[in-house]
Structure 1
Amino acid sequence: MNFHENLAMDLFDGTVTGSFNYALEPMLKHIAAWRAGDLDTARKIWLGGGLMALHEFVYAEWGRLHVRYKIATWLRGFIDSPLMRSPMPKPHKNEVETLAHLLEAAGLSVRDHSDIRTVADALPR
């Protein structure tokens, strides 16, 4: 929530975010550009590189934040299932589809689209 404020105040050390689970590569590039004082590059990565849109969706509903972290991490192929343990809610089909699109728009690889469709079609809308 205070990602850029922490960077600006040089208080980033110890910052915790699930975003590194699914968007590590562009996040590290963004942070490196920011720390180097190259704000033009940092802005291009954040705004033009799709990170802002991705994170706006992930963080839009705090009650679904961890569900979306897990979906995005699964979409990247880093874990075997997008489902959380009960009593956590199931992902919604539209979350899977939206996150797949946003990850790709940010230049990140995702699972094969047929695999995504198979799982998404079995989920509630």
Structure 2
Amino acid sequence: MSATDPTSTDLATGVTGKIIRFSWTDGPTKGAAHVHVFHEDGTVEWHSADQAATHDSGRAGVDRPAFADEAVASGVRLISYLSSSGFTLTVVLNSLTGRIAGIASNEKTWVPVHGFFELVPTPGP
């Protein structure tokens, strides 16, 4: 599925319970991809798309901050979280285009970020 295929980016019900791959086209992680797991308990974890993931909510040492998920307009969601390292990622996900636009920041830096996203199939039981 491509990032512009609406079936691979449909977020009408929000991100909770979904696994989403963010592929960055600029910013500090340009060229990288990260998989975000938005858990039912309102927390998020992420890892490089190159790393194997278990999506196991019981793993020790995994940063799982709370996330905000707000509908902005039809097919557009605002997502934000503050990691334990002090970095905040705030992004707008456009389901119609599969595009990401946002800001990565901490107490010293503020950097615009852009890219594409797609839903990752949820592993079976």
Greater relative contact order (Cα < 8 A, sep 6+): 2
Q: Which has the higher strand share?
A: 2
How does the TM-score come out when normalised to structure 1?
0.25
How does the TM-score come out when normalised to structure 2?
0.25
Q: Which has the higher helix share?
A: 1
